[in-house]
Amino acid sequence: MTTEQSTAERAPGDTHSFARPSEAVAKHLDLDIDVNFDQKILSGTATYNIENLTGTDKIIFDTRDLQIEKVYLGDELQETSFELGDKKEFLGQPLIVKIKPDTKKVTIKYKTTPEAAALQWLNPQQTAGKKYPFLFTQSQAILARTWIPIQDSPGIRITYNAKVKVPKELLAVMSAENPTQKNTTGIYNFEMKQPIPSYLMALSVGDLTFRKIGPQTGIYAEPATIDAAAYEFAEMDKMLAAAEKLYGKYRWDRYDLLVLPPSFPFGGMENPRLTFVTPTVLAKDRSLTSLIAHELAHSWSGNLVTNGTWDDFWLNEGFTVYFERRIMEELYGKEYADMLQVLGYQDLTNTLNELGADSEDTRLKLDLEGRDPDEGLTDIAYEKGNFFLVNIERAVGREKFDAFLNKYFSTFAFQSTDTEKFLSFLREELIKGDDELAEKINIEGWVFSPGLPDGFVKPTSSRFAKVEEAYTAWKNGKPAKELSTKDWSSHEWLHFIRLLPAQMSQQQMAELDKAFNFTNSGNSEVLAAWFLHAIRNNYTTADQALETFLTNVGRRKFLVPIYKALIATPEGKKKALAIYAKARPNYHAVSTVTLDELLK
Ligand code: BES
Ligand code: ZN
């Protein structure tokens, strides 16, 4: 059993895992870990029920920056030999464990290291309550292996149980059946009965409290945040009902949210039964809840039917964006959903411009071999994926398309698919040899070609047409405070801000700010968009607010464009580096990996 051998023959299909599931595969995990805030490490055992399919003498797990102490076989815990293969950039090292043809159980005793990229350990100052430390994980795409030795491929599913020991003042929650209250022992037990891929393994520990929203829904948050969160997400149950009406029964029992501290690097993460969400969506007016619709939609597209490899990421995200906007349409009407489509189209256009419309990375089916799967995390998967589905819906009609999607989710429930499997399902169930329809759907143009295909129909929005009118009036000299902006949602404001010219005078900036108070907006989307203009136009009135935002918020989607705008000029770059030096300790590794590169 040499290392060369083990790395040469990877799992067919998934180039981002060392596992060889067709030979020996994990089916169930029993995790028993201790959370140590002083040392910032997790330690304990991961015990797997495995299937040895070929009678092989080894099973391979993925690890990265883990300390593997001992490995045992069977219930009698017989020590066995293991080897850690060569370290590969972002993939880590294969853990090759010697097994027997009849081995059913493997127990790995391990510790994480402070480098574990999935984990963010927050000190009390970085939380809302400022009293207790906080921990959360972010496993997608291939970071689960930095906190659990695991077959870390989205093509492999496991059920799990966990026992987690935490300091007595804190509560632990996972992507599983959760406690709703602290207990006096600090020991919590979890069960995830449905099989899930490794990237959905999740844990958070903090001073958390639970608030029920509906019969099936609720929110975990720090006490300081729970009221705001309960107001913002009061409609979770309605969302769940709308989603079920569209694509079938919710298969995970409960749907709860965990509101994290602001350093959370994403908007949301669809951890099963417990979506992790950024507090930057707490806008006080429920205007950013499409993000919850998005994470909820993943309970079908992603968690139930999963992209088999990260090259098929659009199957997760494109479907989810489409589904998210269908939920929002169901709840708030077509004109509302149309605004989201137009904003999404703007994001897509920006991404196409940045990558270049003939870049291979603008195809839906990606080729990420040899690269960090994070590189596939662009608006191509999200928005081009969404518009491909919108295009199919237009070609066959909504009723047929919904029936098709329902069947797709039930046919592939609790399985992984890939682009090719989806496309053959599409051909069999929908296209059915109709050449004219096939031409309209244009699989080749959408999935395997870069850019947007000919005949792409741009989305439009009647509510945005009014915003454009107001903008034109302003450009033609009408004072900002006289514009008719009554009843504008944050989406309209975002559209307005995006319409503003790249170059504006100090006077124009000040006029807009005075009329609409952008610099002090409580809406993170509005604020982040406004800061880009403030930076480009050297509008220093916003400096303090900008610095506060950058030092508090760790959401990468906001940070990257803002830092990019800053480093466009030499003085801006100085400012960016000074702020980054202060802010960096508040960011999760997911964000610092990107920003270190950008700001080096
Ligand atoms: N699953 C993603 C987040 C993700 C993707 C994390 C890939 C790591 C690797 C999540 O569902 C997501 O898409 N979040 C978005 C919000 C959404 C409304 C577009 C985000 O965080 O911005
Ligand atoms: Zn998503």
400-414 confidence digits (pLDDT tens): 999 999 999 999 999
pLDDT above 70 (res 1): no
* Residue 13 banded pLDDT, cuts 50, 70, 90: confident
Would 468 be classed as within a structural domain?
no
| Ligand 1 pocket test target in 292, 317, 341 with most atoms within 8 Å of CB | 317
- The answer on 517 and 435 residing in a single domain is no
CATH of the domain at 184: 2.60.40.1730
Would 460 be classed as within a structural domain?
no
- The answer on 110 and 1 residing in a single domain is yes
Would 473 be classed as within a structural domain?
no
CA of 51 to the centre of ligand 2 (A): 31
Residue nearest to atom 16 of ligand 1 (CA): 267
- The answer on 73 and 15 residing in a single domain is yes
Domain that includes residue 526, residue range = 481-599
Contact 147, 116 (CB under 8 A): yes
In sign, the C-alpha dihedral spanning 500, 454, 394, 241 is negative
pLDDT given for residue 12 in this prediction: 60
Domain boundary among 299, 330, 355: 299
The count of domains in the chain is 4
pLDDT above 90 (res 6): no
pLDDT above 60 (res 387): yes
> What is the pLDDT averaged over residues 367-374?
96
pLDDT above 90 (res 11): no
pLDDT above 60 (res 4): no
> What is the pLDDT averaged over residues 31-57?
98
- The answer on 335 and 287 residing in a single domain is no
- The answer on 392 and 285 residing in a single domain is no
- What residues line ligand 1, using a CB cutoff of 6 Å? 140-141, 266-270, 291, 294-295, 298, 317, 377, 382, 557
In the chain, what is the straight-line distance between the N-terminal and C-terminal CA atoms, in Å?
Answer: 41
The ligand that comes nearest to the alpha carbon of residue 318 is 2
Query: Distance between CA 35 and CA 247 in Å, rounded?
Result: 39
**Ligand 1 atom nearest to CA at 313:** 7
The ligand that comes nearest to the alpha carbon of residue 141 is 1
Domain boundary among 200, 231, 253: 200
Would 68 be classed as within a structural domain?
yes
pLDDT given for residue 5 in this prediction: 38
CA of 293 to the centre of ligand 1 (A): 12
- The answer on 293 and 173 residing in a single domain is no
CA of 277 to the centre of ligand 1 (A): 10
**Ligand 1 atom nearest to CA at 270:** 11
> How would you class 81 by CB atoms within 10 Å of its CB: exposed for 0-12, middle for 13-18, buried for 19 or more?
exposed
* Residue 382 banded pLDDT, cuts 50, 70, 90: very high
pLDDT above 70 (res 10): no
* Residue 167 banded pLDDT, cuts 50, 70, 90: very high
CATH of the domain at 551: 1.25.40.320
Sheet holding 171-174, edge to edge: 119-122, 134-137, 203-206, 171-174
pLDDT above 60 (res 370): yes
> What is the pLDDT averaged over residues 51-71?
98
| Ligand 1 pocket test target in 266, 296, 383 with most atoms within 8 Å of CB | 266
Residue nearest to atom 6 of ligand 1 (CA): 140
- The answer on 218 and 183 residing in a single domain is no
- The answer on 568 and 538 residing in a single domain is yes
SS (H, E, C) 84-133: ECCCECCCEEEEEEECCCCCCEEEEEEEECCCCCCEEEECHHHCCCCCCC
Contact 437, 431 (CB under 8 A): yes
- The answer on 91 and 40 residing in a single domain is yes
CA distances from 66 to 10, 92, 109, 110, 204 (A): 20, 9, 10, 7, 19
The ligand that comes nearest to the alpha carbon of residue 268 is 1
* Residue 374 banded pLDDT, cuts 50, 70, 90: very high
Residue nearest to atom 8 of ligand 1 (CA): 140
323-344 pLDDT, tens digit each: 999 999 999 999 999 999 999 9
pLDDT above 60 (res 47): yes
CATH of the domain at 408: 1.10.390.10
Catalytic residues, which ones? 295, 382
CA of 290 to the centre of ligand 1 (A): 12
- The answer on 72 and 11 residing in a single domain is yes
Among 19, 243, 279, residue whose Cα is nearest residue 136: 279
Query: Distance between CA 486 and CA 146 in Å, rounded?
Result: 49
479-528 pLDDT, tens digit each: 999 999 999 999 999 999 999 999 999 999 999 999 999 999 999 999 99
- The answer on 217 and 194 residing in a single domain is no
CA of 269 to the centre of ligand 1 (A): 6
Would 471 be classed as within a structural domain?
no
CATH of the domain at 214: 3.30.2010.30
534-585 pLDDT, tens digit each: 999 999 999 999 999 999 999 999 999 999 999 999 999 999 999 999 999 9
Instruction: Please state, rounded to an integer, the average pLDDT across all residues of the chain.
Output: 97
81-135 pLDDT, tens digit each: 999 999 999 999 999 999 999 999 999 999 999 999 999 999 999 999 999 999 9
- The answer on 586 and 486 residing in a single domain is yes
Residue nearest to atom 22 of ligand 1 (CA): 267
Element (H, E) at 410: helix 398-411
Domain boundary among 279, 299, 319: 299
